[in-house]
Each structure stands twice: as structure tokens, then as C-alpha cells.
Amino acid sequence: MNVKKLGFAILMSAVVAFGVAACDDDNPAGPSNQPIVFTSTLLPSNEVPAVTNADSTGRGTVTITFNLTRDAGGAITGGTVTFNAPLTTFPAGTTVRAAHIHNGAAGVNAGVFIDTGLTPAAAIVLTNGSGTLDFQNVSGTTINPTTLQAVIDNPAGHYFNVHTNLNTAGAVRGQLARQ
């Protein structure tokens, strides 16, 4: 093989490799079933109104993973969601009673959009003020192709928050960002 042909072959290999690496998981021209990941920093100052009571010391992060199934045309047909939210610096003994994704922009409160399944009846106590909410492969009525696609299309238009007994409307909150 001459040098020109070898150079062209290397260039074409690089173009193909870059094209595969740059392929977006939710690109309708070539979607895959790869997980889609969102993250956020959870702060009491992001709640509306901002939390100023004892829970105002609480902090956290969340990683949310969409595990999607798609049809041959690439449309989402279903999926599950995994939530992992390490929480820190809450008052000892804080009871976490709910956590979910809401469909609201920064500064706007909105209804539950995708639920983790955590309820007051199955609340989690942060004995020393820290702990991790970990919900694997959650499914349910709020997790459907329409809600999953809406978050994929506009992550910043959705927020995750954690509700405590002291702040039943939300103690820490953060807008989602796609990773």
C-alpha cells in the first residue's frame, strides 16, 4: 500500500471512530439503548422559597440514570430510572420522606414528574445527618416514554428535590444537567 492510500485509510478510520464516539444516545438518526445520565447539586437555597430553618445546612448531589428501551425506529418504548443521592450536613435524625423529579424551571415550583417511590411510610432517617438515597431500576406510572423523553429534551426544565419532615415541600433542590 502506498503512502497516500495508507494516509487516506488512517484518515477514514479516524472519521468513522469520531462519528461513532460523537453519536448522541437520543439522536433520532442513530439512538441506542445506552443509559442517559443526569446530575445536579442539591442546595436548600435552590428551593422556592429558599429553606432557612434547621435543614438549611443540608447539601447533596444526585445522579439519575435513565435505562431506556427503544423500538427499531429509535423511539423510547420504556425504561427504568436509577437515583443515587448522597446527602450531607443535615441535622442529626432528619427524616427524608420523599424525593423526585419535578417538571419546573429554576425558581418555579411544579408537580411531581418522575417519582422515586420513597414515601412517608417508608421514610429514611439520616441518623448522623448524612446518608445516601439509592433507588435502583425504578419503574411505575410516572416513568413512561413521554416523561423520559421530556427530561431528555429539556433537562434544565426539570429539578430533583428531597423532602423532609421539617420541609415537606422540599429541603434541597437542583436543576438537572445531562452528562
Give pLDDT tens digits for 86-142.
999 999 999 999 999 999 999 999 999 999 999 999 999 999 999 999 999 999 989
The Cα 41–Cα 61 span in angstroms is 4
What's the chain's Rg over C-alpha atoms?
20
What b-and-e string marks burial along 40-62, b requiring 16 or more CB atoms within 10 Å of the CB? bebbbebbbeebeeebbebbbbb
User: Helix, strand, or coil here: 64?
Assistant: strand
In sequence order, the β-bridge partners of residue 79 are 68
Domains along the chain? 31-178 (2.60.40)
The Cα 11–Cα 71 span in angstroms is 33
Q: What are the pLDDT digits (tens) for 39-82?
A: 999 999 999 999 999 999 999 999 999 999 999 999 999 999 99
**84, 136, 169 from 43: Cα distances, Å:** 16, 23, 14
The full DSSP string for 117-141 is ---GGG-EEETTS-EEEEEEEE-ST
- Nearest residue to 126 (alpha-carbon basis) of 44, 60, 51: 60
- Nearest residue to 67 (alpha-carbon basis) of 139, 171, 156: 139
Is the pLDDT at 37 greater than 60? The verdict is yes
